[in-house]
Amino acid sequence: MTIEWLAGNRIRGTSTDRTVGTSGISLTGTQTTSGTTATSLSVSINVGDYSNKALIVCVTQQSGSTTSVKVGSNSFTNVDIQNGGASGTGSQRTEIWYLLDSDITNNASNQIDWVGSAGSRVSIGVYSLNNVNQNLSGNFVSSSAYNTSSSYSNQPDGVVNSVDSGGFIIDILSANTATQPTDTLTEGWNILISANRYAVSQYNASPSTNNNMFYSNIVAAEWAWSGVRIKKAVGAPPVDGSIFYAKDTNKSYVLYNGSWSEV
């Protein structure tokens, strides 16, 4: 299902679209899995009845690489790959991938299948979002960082800048540490993959234009970090005076002061 943004601040969709599809980007769920030695992992996530969906997959691994990330036969697109260490060539690795609405089964469980080369301490996590811009040009813009704890005061810091109004930011940290990293935004997940390997992700559903995505409490030989900014769907959120027509109920609503009222 897709919201139609028409001329003259008119919008057409379903009742669900009116309540959740006309805001900025919103999060509808997360799921994770991991393995100490793995060349394939799968995780399923329930995707609701929403418009302009996207699945964002974050991968961490040690001394390996990704061959494919798919839902069925539909392949995810890579946004960022970053290795850790002082020069960005270490064994810790972070990756971010995305899949858009047309390749996602609406209002159903979607299984994400990851396949990679021989490595160890692999994790995958997935965010389910709606109201994401489906235009590939500049919709997903990545950032990356890497280092060792000794040269960075145990404070990994990634920067995600130039975020549009209504946008969404996500990151993923892979750290060679036995101590759980402390995030500073909303935690998506943290996974202790083995005795000394953490994968942690955080997000911000209402970010500023420029954002520092800090982590603290890191005592790590090395770490890698990837972040991404995501644009909202065109037209969202609507302005006061907009008219929404719900196709499923044949009712119309007007937006005033942030609330929809039936007309």
Identify the helix (H) or strand (E) that includes residue 17.
helix 15-20
Contact 153, 198 (CB under 8 A): no
- Scan for tokens 């990756």, then name that residue: 95
Q: What is the pLDDT of residues 168-185, one digit of tens each?
A: 999 999 998 888 888 999
Residue 6 identity (one-letter amino acid): L
**In the sheet where 140-147 sits, what is the strand order?**
140-147, 223-230, 168-175, 197-204, 186-194
Instruction: Name the β-bridge partners of 32.
Output: 125
Location of structure tokens 């060679």: 176
Smallest CA-to-CA distance from 34 within 101, 163, 149, 123 is with 123
Per-residue pLDDT reduced to its tens digit, 69-91: 999 999 999 999 999 988 888 89
Q: In this model, does residue 195 exceed pLDDT 90?
A: no
Architecture, CATH, for domain 1-22+238-263: 3-Layer(aba) Sandwich (3.40)
How many angstroms separate the CA atoms of 100 and 79, rounded? 13
Using an 8 Å Cβ cutoff, are 215 and 146 in contact? no
Q: Where are the domains of the chain?
A: 1-22+238-263, 23-237
Q: What is the largest CA-CA distance in the chain?
A: 62
Average pLDDT for the chain: 88
Check: CB of residue 55 under 8 Å from CB of residue 96.
no
CB 142 within 8 A of CB 96: yes
> What are the residues whose beta carbons fall under 8 Å from the beta carbon of 250, sequence distance 6 or more?
none
Can you state the percent helix, strand and coil of the chain, rounding each to 5? 5, 55, 40
The model's pLDDT over 101-158, given as tens digits with 9 standing for 90+, comes to 999 999 999 999 999 987 789 999 999 999 899 887 788 999 998 887 654 444 566 8
CB count in 10 Å sphere of residue 150: 12
What pLDDT shows up at residue 21? 59
- 87 HSE (CA, 13 A, CB side): 1
Q: What is the CA radius of gyration of the chain?
A: 19
The model's confidence at residue 222, banded by pLDDT at 50, 70 and 90, is confident
Confidence tier at 5 by pLDDT (50, 70, 90): confident
DSSP-assigned beta bridge partners for residue 62: 92, 120
The two structure tokens encoding residue 118: 């021989």
- Cβ atoms of residues 54 and 2 within 8 Å: no
